[in-house]
Protein backbone atom coordinates (compact mmCIF):
# COMPACT_ATOMS: atom_id res chain seq x y z
CA UNK A 1 0.00 0.00 0.00
CA UNK A 2 3.02 2.31 0.24
CA UNK A 3 2.42 5.36 -1.93
CA UNK A 4 -0.90 4.16 -3.33
CA UNK A 5 -3.28 7.06 -4.03
CA UNK A 6 -6.73 6.98 -2.42
CA UNK A 7 -9.30 9.72 -2.95
CA UNK A 8 -11.82 9.82 -0.14
CA UNK A 9 -15.20 11.27 -1.18
CA UNK A 10 -17.09 12.21 1.97
CA UNK A 11 -20.88 12.39 1.85
CA UNK A 12 -23.17 14.15 4.29
CA UNK A 13 -24.22 12.05 7.27
CA UNK A 14 -23.49 11.47 10.93
CA UNK A 15 -21.20 8.56 10.00
CA UNK A 16 -18.74 11.17 8.71
CA UNK A 17 -17.42 11.36 12.28
CA UNK A 18 -15.55 8.11 11.46
CA UNK A 19 -13.75 9.67 8.50
CA UNK A 20 -10.72 11.01 10.44
CA UNK A 21 -10.11 7.51 11.80
CA UNK A 22 -10.47 6.12 8.27
CA UNK A 23 -7.89 8.60 7.01
CA UNK A 24 -5.52 7.52 9.76
CA UNK A 25 -6.02 3.84 8.91
CA UNK A 26 -5.25 4.47 5.23
CA UNK A 27 -2.23 6.61 6.05
CA UNK A 28 -0.88 4.02 8.47
CA UNK A 29 -1.14 1.47 5.65
CA UNK A 30 1.12 3.73 3.57
CA UNK A 31 -1.46 5.39 1.31
CA UNK A 32 -1.49 8.93 0.06
CA UNK A 33 -4.95 10.31 0.84
CA UNK A 34 -6.84 13.29 -0.50
CA UNK A 35 -10.39 14.28 0.45
CA UNK A 36 -13.30 15.71 -1.52
CA UNK A 37 -16.31 16.82 0.53
CA UNK A 38 -19.91 17.42 -0.41
CA UNK A 39 -21.46 20.59 0.95
CA UNK A 40 -23.38 18.57 3.55
CA UNK A 41 -20.27 16.63 4.64
CA UNK A 42 -18.59 19.80 5.87
CA UNK A 43 -21.37 20.14 8.47
CA UNK A 44 -20.38 16.79 10.02
CA UNK A 45 -16.58 16.70 9.77
CA UNK A 46 -14.15 19.61 9.80
CA UNK A 47 -12.22 20.17 6.56
CA UNK A 48 -9.38 21.52 8.70
CA UNK A 49 -9.13 18.21 10.56
CA UNK A 50 -8.97 16.25 7.31
CA UNK A 51 -6.42 18.64 5.86
CA UNK A 52 -4.24 18.18 8.95
CA UNK A 53 -4.47 14.39 8.79
CA UNK A 54 -3.86 14.07 5.05
CA UNK A 55 -1.36 16.89 4.63
CA UNK A 56 -3.32 17.89 1.51
CA UNK A 57 -5.87 20.64 0.81
CA UNK A 58 -9.48 19.46 1.08
CA UNK A 59 -11.40 19.86 -2.19
CA UNK A 60 -14.96 21.18 -1.84
CA UNK A 61 -16.08 23.54 -4.59
CA UNK A 62 -16.54 22.98 -8.31
CA UNK A 63 -16.81 26.72 -8.89
CA UNK A 64 -13.81 27.85 -6.85
CA UNK A 65 -11.22 29.71 -8.91
CA UNK A 66 -8.54 28.48 -6.52
CA UNK A 67 -9.50 24.82 -6.78
CA UNK A 68 -10.63 24.75 -10.40
CA UNK A 69 -8.10 27.06 -12.03
CA UNK A 70 -6.39 24.00 -13.56
CA UNK A 71 -9.63 21.98 -13.95
CA UNK A 72 -9.08 20.54 -10.50
CA UNK A 73 -11.78 17.90 -10.57
CA UNK A 74 -10.19 16.27 -13.64
CA UNK A 75 -6.75 16.39 -12.05
CA UNK A 76 -8.18 14.81 -8.90
CA UNK A 77 -9.98 12.14 -10.92
CA UNK A 78 -6.79 11.26 -12.77
CA UNK A 79 -4.69 11.27 -9.57
CA UNK A 80 -6.76 8.63 -7.77
CA UNK A 81 -5.92 4.92 -7.98
CA UNK A 82 -9.00 4.19 -5.85
CA UNK A 83 -11.99 6.32 -4.91
CA UNK A 84 -13.57 5.46 -1.57
CA UNK A 85 -16.99 7.01 -0.94
CA UNK A 86 -17.59 7.11 2.82
CA UNK A 87 -20.15 7.71 4.03
CA UNK A 88 -22.19 7.10 0.90
CA UNK A 89 -25.53 8.64 1.79
CA UNK A 90 -28.80 7.80 0.06
CA UNK A 91 -28.68 11.16 -1.71
CA UNK A 92 -25.10 10.67 -2.91
CA UNK A 93 -25.87 7.14 -4.18
CA UNK A 94 -28.89 8.51 -6.06
CA UNK A 95 -26.81 11.23 -7.69
CA UNK A 96 -24.11 8.70 -8.62
CA UNK A 97 -26.72 6.43 -10.21
CA UNK A 98 -28.23 9.36 -12.11
CA UNK A 99 -24.85 10.53 -13.45
CA UNK A 100 -25.16 13.94 -11.82
CA UNK A 101 -22.16 16.28 -11.75
CA UNK A 102 -23.53 19.31 -9.92
CA UNK A 103 -20.74 19.49 -7.33
CA UNK A 104 -17.06 18.61 -7.19
CA UNK A 105 -17.38 15.11 -5.68
CA UNK A 106 -19.96 13.88 -8.21
CA UNK A 107 -18.00 15.48 -11.08
CA UNK A 108 -14.92 13.55 -9.91
CA UNK A 109 -16.92 10.32 -9.70
CA UNK A 110 -18.02 10.75 -13.31
CA UNK A 111 -14.54 11.67 -14.55
CA UNK A 112 -12.39 9.08 -12.79
CA UNK A 113 -11.38 5.74 -14.26
CA UNK A 114 -10.28 4.43 -10.87
CA UNK A 115 -12.23 1.67 -9.07
CA UNK A 116 -15.05 2.95 -6.84
CA UNK A 117 -15.69 1.54 -3.37
CA UNK A 118 -18.84 2.81 -1.63
CA UNK A 119 -19.55 2.52 2.11
CA UNK A 120 -23.28 3.24 2.56
CA UNK A 121 -24.55 4.83 5.77
CA UNK A 122 -28.15 5.86 6.41
CA UNK A 123 -31.36 5.04 8.27
CA UNK A 124 -32.50 1.45 7.80
CA UNK A 125 -35.73 2.52 6.10
CA UNK A 126 -33.80 4.68 3.66
CA UNK A 127 -31.42 1.79 2.92
CA UNK A 128 -34.25 -0.68 2.36
CA UNK A 129 -36.33 1.72 0.24
CA UNK A 130 -36.85 0.37 -3.31
CA UNK A 131 -35.36 3.54 -4.80
CA UNK A 132 -32.11 3.10 -2.87
CA UNK A 133 -31.93 -0.61 -3.64
CA UNK A 134 -32.50 0.11 -7.34
CA UNK A 135 -29.71 2.68 -7.29
CA UNK A 136 -27.36 0.22 -5.57
CA UNK A 137 -28.21 -2.52 -8.09
CA UNK A 138 -27.53 -0.13 -10.98
CA UNK A 139 -24.22 0.99 -9.50
CA UNK A 140 -23.16 -2.63 -8.94
CA UNK A 141 -23.88 -3.34 -12.62
CA UNK A 142 -21.55 -0.47 -13.50
CA UNK A 143 -18.76 -2.00 -11.39
CA UNK A 144 -19.05 -0.04 -8.15
CA UNK A 145 -17.99 -2.17 -5.16
CA UNK A 146 -19.85 -1.93 -1.85
CA UNK A 147 -18.61 -2.43 1.70
CA UNK A 148 -21.52 -2.73 4.12
CA UNK A 149 -23.67 -1.35 5.46
CA UNK A 150 -23.52 -3.18 8.80
CA UNK A 151 -26.45 -3.97 11.06
CA UNK A 152 -26.90 -2.62 14.58
CA UNK A 153 -28.05 0.43 16.48
CA UNK A 154 -28.14 3.50 14.27
CA UNK A 155 -27.55 7.12 15.25
CA UNK A 156 -31.24 7.87 14.71
CA UNK A 157 -32.22 5.27 17.32
CA UNK A 158 -33.45 2.63 14.87
CA UNK A 159 -32.05 -0.91 14.71
CA UNK A 160 -31.11 -2.55 11.41
CA UNK A 161 -28.85 -2.22 8.39
CA UNK A 162 -27.42 1.21 7.76
CA UNK A 163 -24.23 1.57 9.82
CA UNK A 164 -21.11 2.48 7.92
CA UNK A 165 -18.44 -0.23 8.08
CA UNK A 166 -15.65 0.42 10.56
CA UNK A 167 -12.56 2.29 9.32
CA UNK A 168 -10.27 -0.72 9.72
CA UNK A 169 -12.55 -2.89 7.60
CA UNK A 170 -12.77 -0.20 4.91
CA UNK A 171 -9.00 0.17 4.83
CA UNK A 172 -8.73 -3.61 4.37
CA UNK A 173 -11.20 -3.47 1.47
CA UNK A 174 -9.18 -0.65 -0.06
CA UNK A 175 -6.02 -2.77 0.20
CA UNK A 176 -7.85 -5.61 -1.53
CA UNK A 177 -8.81 -3.41 -4.49
CA UNK A 178 -5.31 -1.94 -4.73
CA UNK A 179 -3.66 -5.37 -4.81
CA UNK A 180 -1.09 -6.45 -7.38
CA UNK A 181 -3.42 -9.07 -8.99
CA UNK A 182 -0.38 -11.33 -9.42
CA UNK A 183 -2.41 -14.31 -8.13
CA UNK A 184 -5.55 -13.48 -10.12
CA UNK A 185 -7.31 -16.67 -11.18
CA UNK A 186 -5.47 -18.85 -8.66
CA UNK A 187 -7.34 -20.76 -5.96
CA UNK A 188 -5.50 -20.74 -2.63
CA UNK A 189 -6.13 -22.76 0.52
CA UNK A 190 -4.68 -21.57 3.85
CA UNK A 191 -4.95 -23.20 7.26
CA UNK A 192 -4.46 -21.14 10.41
CA UNK A 193 -4.79 -21.18 14.19
CA UNK A 194 -4.31 -23.96 16.70
CA UNK A 195 -6.59 -27.00 16.82
CA UNK A 196 -8.30 -28.04 20.04
CA UNK A 197 -8.76 -31.66 21.11
CA UNK A 198 -11.65 -32.31 23.49
CA UNK A 199 -10.75 -33.91 26.81
CA UNK A 200 -14.15 -33.65 28.49
CA UNK A 201 -17.26 -31.46 28.39
CA UNK A 202 -15.33 -28.31 29.37
CA UNK A 203 -11.61 -28.96 28.82
CA UNK A 204 -9.48 -29.17 25.69
CA UNK A 205 -5.86 -29.84 24.81
CA UNK A 206 -4.64 -26.82 22.87
CA UNK A 207 -1.56 -24.80 21.93
CA UNK A 208 -0.62 -21.13 21.96
CA UNK A 209 -1.13 -20.38 18.27
CA UNK A 210 -3.05 -17.12 17.75
CA UNK A 211 -3.61 -17.66 14.02
CA UNK A 212 -2.11 -14.25 13.19
CA UNK A 213 0.48 -15.60 10.75
CA UNK A 214 -2.01 -17.71 8.79
CA UNK A 215 -4.56 -14.90 8.65
CA UNK A 216 -1.84 -12.56 7.32
CA UNK A 217 -0.97 -15.14 4.64
CA UNK A 218 -4.64 -15.40 3.62
CA UNK A 219 -5.08 -11.61 3.56
CA UNK A 220 -2.01 -11.13 1.35
CA UNK A 221 -3.16 -13.81 -1.10
CA UNK A 222 -6.54 -12.09 -1.40
CA UNK A 223 -4.84 -8.74 -1.92
CA UNK A 224 -2.94 -10.28 -4.85
CA UNK A 225 -6.19 -11.37 -6.46
CA UNK A 226 -6.43 -15.03 -5.44
CA UNK A 227 -9.64 -16.85 -4.57
CA UNK A 228 -8.83 -17.68 -0.96
CA UNK A 229 -10.31 -20.28 1.38
CA UNK A 230 -9.17 -20.04 5.01
CA UNK A 231 -9.65 -23.12 7.20
CA UNK A 232 -9.42 -21.67 10.69
CA UNK A 233 -9.02 -23.41 14.02
CA UNK A 234 -10.49 -21.50 17.00
CA UNK A 235 -9.18 -17.94 17.21
CA UNK A 236 -10.58 -14.47 17.81
CA UNK A 237 -9.39 -12.84 14.58
CA UNK A 238 -11.76 -11.24 12.05
CA UNK A 239 -11.97 -12.82 8.60
CA UNK A 240 -9.69 -10.96 6.14
CA UNK A 241 -11.39 -9.04 3.36
CA UNK A 242 -12.08 -11.13 0.27
CA UNK A 243 -11.55 -14.46 2.06
CA UNK A 244 -14.01 -17.34 2.53
CA UNK A 245 -13.63 -18.84 5.99
CA UNK A 246 -14.31 -22.39 7.14
CA UNK A 247 -14.20 -22.83 10.94
CA UNK A 248 -13.04 -26.10 12.48
CA UNK A 249 -11.98 -27.17 15.95
CA UNK A 250 -10.07 -30.47 16.01
CA UNK A 251 -7.32 -31.94 13.87
CA UNK A 252 -9.75 -34.46 12.38
CA UNK A 253 -12.16 -31.67 11.43
CA UNK A 254 -9.29 -29.73 9.83
CA UNK A 255 -8.28 -32.84 7.89
CA UNK A 256 -11.78 -33.21 6.46
CA UNK A 257 -11.98 -29.50 5.57
CA UNK A 258 -8.61 -29.60 3.80
CA UNK A 259 -9.65 -32.70 1.86
CA UNK A 260 -12.85 -30.95 0.79
CA UNK A 261 -11.22 -27.65 -0.20
CA UNK A 262 -7.85 -28.73 -1.65
CA UNK A 263 -9.11 -30.04 -5.03
CA UNK A 264 -8.52 -27.33 -7.62
CA UNK A 265 -6.18 -25.31 -5.42
CA UNK A 266 -3.02 -23.96 -7.03
CA UNK A 267 -1.35 -23.35 -3.67
CA UNK A 268 -1.94 -24.75 -0.18
CA UNK A 269 -0.31 -23.03 2.81
CA UNK A 270 -0.49 -25.14 5.96
CA UNK A 271 0.29 -22.61 8.67
CA UNK A 272 -2.07 -24.05 11.31
CA UNK A 273 -0.61 -25.53 14.48
CA UNK A 274 -2.27 -28.95 14.30
CA UNK A 275 -2.24 -31.08 17.46
CA UNK A 276 -0.10 -34.20 17.05
CA UNK A 277 -2.23 -36.15 19.55
CA UNK A 278 -5.82 -36.34 20.79
CA UNK A 279 -7.39 -38.02 23.84
CA UNK A 280 -8.34 -41.63 23.09
CA UNK A 281 -11.54 -41.46 25.11
CA UNK A 282 -12.91 -37.91 25.50
CA UNK A 283 -15.54 -37.73 28.19
CA UNK A 284 -19.03 -36.37 27.57
CA UNK A 285 -19.18 -35.00 31.13
CA UNK A 286 -16.83 -32.83 33.18
CA UNK A 287 -14.14 -34.87 34.94
CA UNK A 288 -14.27 -33.90 38.64
CA UNK A 289 -11.57 -34.20 41.24
CA UNK A 290 -13.91 -35.87 43.72
CA UNK A 291 -14.43 -38.72 41.28
CA UNK A 292 -10.75 -39.61 41.58
CA UNK A 293 -9.00 -41.33 44.46
CA UNK A 294 -7.37 -39.05 47.04
CA UNK A 295 -4.09 -37.65 45.68
CA UNK A 296 -4.52 -39.70 42.50
CA UNK A 297 -3.35 -38.26 39.22
CA UNK A 298 -5.30 -38.23 35.99
CA UNK A 299 -3.94 -40.52 33.30
CA UNK A 300 -4.87 -39.65 29.72
CA UNK A 301 -4.25 -42.00 26.83
CA UNK A 302 -3.43 -40.13 23.64
CA UNK A 303 -3.81 -41.22 20.02
CA UNK A 304 -1.68 -39.90 17.19
CA UNK A 305 -3.51 -37.52 14.83
CA UNK A 306 -3.15 -37.93 11.05
CA UNK A 307 -0.39 -35.94 9.38
CA UNK A 308 -2.46 -33.63 7.15
CA UNK A 309 0.54 -31.98 5.49
CA UNK A 310 2.26 -35.27 4.61
CA UNK A 311 -1.00 -36.76 3.31
CA UNK A 312 -1.60 -33.74 1.10
CA UNK A 313 1.91 -33.87 -0.39
CA UNK A 314 1.76 -37.63 -0.96
CA UNK A 315 -1.55 -37.37 -2.82
CA UNK A 316 -0.23 -34.93 -5.44
CA UNK A 317 0.25 -36.21 -8.97
CA UNK A 318 3.79 -36.11 -10.33
CA UNK A 319 4.56 -32.79 -12.01
CA UNK A 320 5.58 -32.66 -15.66
CA UNK A 321 9.25 -31.81 -16.33
CA UNK A 322 9.81 -28.09 -15.86
CA UNK A 323 6.29 -27.51 -14.53
CA UNK A 324 5.48 -26.56 -10.94
CA UNK A 325 3.74 -29.15 -8.76
CA UNK A 326 0.00 -28.81 -8.33
CA UNK A 327 -0.75 -27.74 -5.77
CA UNK A 328 2.37 -26.03 -4.49
CA UNK A 329 2.43 -26.90 -0.80
CA UNK A 330 3.94 -24.71 1.92
CA UNK A 331 4.47 -26.02 5.44
CA UNK A 332 5.34 -24.31 8.72
CA UNK A 333 7.66 -25.45 11.50
CA UNK A 334 7.74 -23.86 14.95
CA UNK A 335 10.90 -25.12 16.64
CA UNK A 336 12.45 -24.59 20.06
CA UNK A 337 15.93 -25.96 19.27
CA UNK A 338 18.17 -26.82 16.30
CA UNK A 339 15.97 -24.68 14.05
CA UNK A 340 17.54 -25.33 10.65
CA UNK A 341 18.34 -29.00 11.18
CA UNK A 342 14.88 -29.77 12.53
CA UNK A 343 13.21 -27.75 9.76
CA UNK A 344 15.19 -29.49 7.00
CA UNK A 345 14.21 -32.88 8.39
CA UNK A 346 10.58 -31.84 8.43
CA UNK A 347 10.79 -30.51 4.87
CA UNK A 348 12.16 -33.83 3.63
CA UNK A 349 9.77 -35.92 5.71
CA UNK A 350 6.63 -34.07 4.65
CA UNK A 351 7.54 -33.62 0.99
CA UNK A 352 6.39 -29.99 0.69
CA UNK A 353 7.90 -27.42 -1.68
CA UNK A 354 8.63 -24.68 0.83
CA UNK A 355 8.89 -24.63 4.62
CA UNK A 356 8.62 -21.57 6.87
CA UNK A 357 10.61 -22.17 10.05
CA UNK A 358 10.66 -19.96 13.11
CA UNK A 359 12.36 -20.23 16.50
CA UNK A 360 9.64 -19.83 19.12
CA UNK A 361 12.21 -18.93 21.78
CA UNK A 362 13.11 -15.70 20.03
CA UNK A 363 11.83 -12.68 22.01
CA UNK A 364 9.07 -10.73 20.28
CA UNK A 365 8.37 -13.31 17.59
CA UNK A 366 6.36 -16.46 17.09
CA UNK A 367 3.21 -17.33 19.00
CA UNK A 368 0.75 -14.52 19.85
CA UNK A 369 3.13 -11.83 18.54
CA UNK A 370 2.47 -9.38 15.72
CA UNK A 371 5.98 -10.03 14.37
CA UNK A 372 7.95 -13.05 13.26
CA UNK A 373 11.53 -13.90 12.29
CA UNK A 374 11.60 -16.86 9.92
CA UNK A 375 13.76 -18.86 7.55
CA UNK A 376 12.30 -19.92 4.20
CA UNK A 377 13.61 -23.33 3.17
CA UNK A 378 13.00 -24.86 -0.26
CA UNK A 379 13.20 -28.42 -1.52
CA UNK A 380 16.39 -27.64 -3.48
CA UNK A 381 18.29 -26.88 -0.27
CA UNK A 382 18.04 -23.09 -0.41
CA UNK A 383 17.49 -21.02 2.71
CA UNK A 384 16.47 -17.37 3.02
CA UNK A 385 16.59 -15.86 6.48
CA UNK A 386 14.29 -12.91 7.12
CA UNK A 387 14.79 -10.44 9.97
CA UNK A 388 12.04 -9.89 12.50
CA UNK A 389 9.19 -8.29 10.56
CA UNK A 390 5.46 -7.67 10.98
CA UNK A 391 3.63 -10.85 10.05
CA UNK A 392 1.96 -9.06 7.13
CA UNK A 393 5.42 -8.41 5.66
CA UNK A 394 6.50 -12.00 6.28
CA UNK A 395 3.38 -13.07 4.36
CA UNK A 396 4.34 -10.80 1.46
CA UNK A 397 7.85 -12.33 1.31
CA UNK A 398 6.32 -15.81 1.40
CA UNK A 399 4.01 -15.10 -1.54
CA UNK A 400 6.89 -13.58 -3.51
CA UNK A 401 8.69 -16.92 -3.14
CA UNK A 402 5.59 -18.93 -4.01
CA UNK A 403 5.03 -16.85 -7.14
CA UNK A 404 8.57 -17.65 -8.29
CA UNK A 405 7.83 -21.36 -7.81
CA UNK A 406 4.74 -20.97 -9.99
CA UNK A 407 6.72 -19.56 -12.90
CA UNK A 408 7.33 -22.20 -15.63
CA UNK A 409 10.82 -23.63 -15.64
CA UNK A 410 11.64 -22.64 -12.05
Catalytic residue IDs: 156
- Residue 222 dihedral angles phi and psi, to the nearest 5°: -65, -40
Q: Is 364 exposed, middle or buried (0-12, 13-18, 19+ CB in 10 A)?
A: exposed
Torsions phi, psi for 84 (to 5 deg): -110, 120
Q: What is the DSSP string of 139-182?
A: HHHTT-EE--PEEEE-TTS-EEEEEPPPHHHHHHHHHHHTS--T
* Angle at alpha carbon of residue 211, lines to 169 and 215, rounded to 5°: 40
Q: Is 315 helix (H, G, I), strand (E, B) or coil?
A: coil
Neighbours of 39 (CB within 10 A): 12
Taking the alpha carbons of 333, 335, 341, 346 in that order, is the dihedral positive or negative?
A: negative
Q: 145, 116 in Cβ contact below 8 A?
A: yes
Q: Are 175 and 189 in contact (CB under 8 A)?
A: no
Reduced DSSP (H G I as helix, E B as strand, rest coil) percent helix, strand, coil of the chain, to 5: 35, 25, 40
Beta strand extents in 69-226 (DSSP E only):
82-88, 116-120, 145-146, 150-153, 159-163, 187-192, 197-198, 204-205
Amino acid sequence: MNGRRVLLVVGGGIAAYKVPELVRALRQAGCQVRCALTEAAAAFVSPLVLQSLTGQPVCRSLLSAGEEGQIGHIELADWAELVLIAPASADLLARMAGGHAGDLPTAVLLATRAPLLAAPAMNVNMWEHPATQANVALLRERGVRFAGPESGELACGWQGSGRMSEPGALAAQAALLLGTRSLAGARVLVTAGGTRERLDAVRVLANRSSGKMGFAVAAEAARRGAEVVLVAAPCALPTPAGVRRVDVESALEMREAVRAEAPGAAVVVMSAAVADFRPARPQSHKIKKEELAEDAGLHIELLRNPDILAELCAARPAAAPGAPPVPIVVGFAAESRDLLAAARRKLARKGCDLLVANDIRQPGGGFESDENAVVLLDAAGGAEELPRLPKAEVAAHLWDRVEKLREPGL
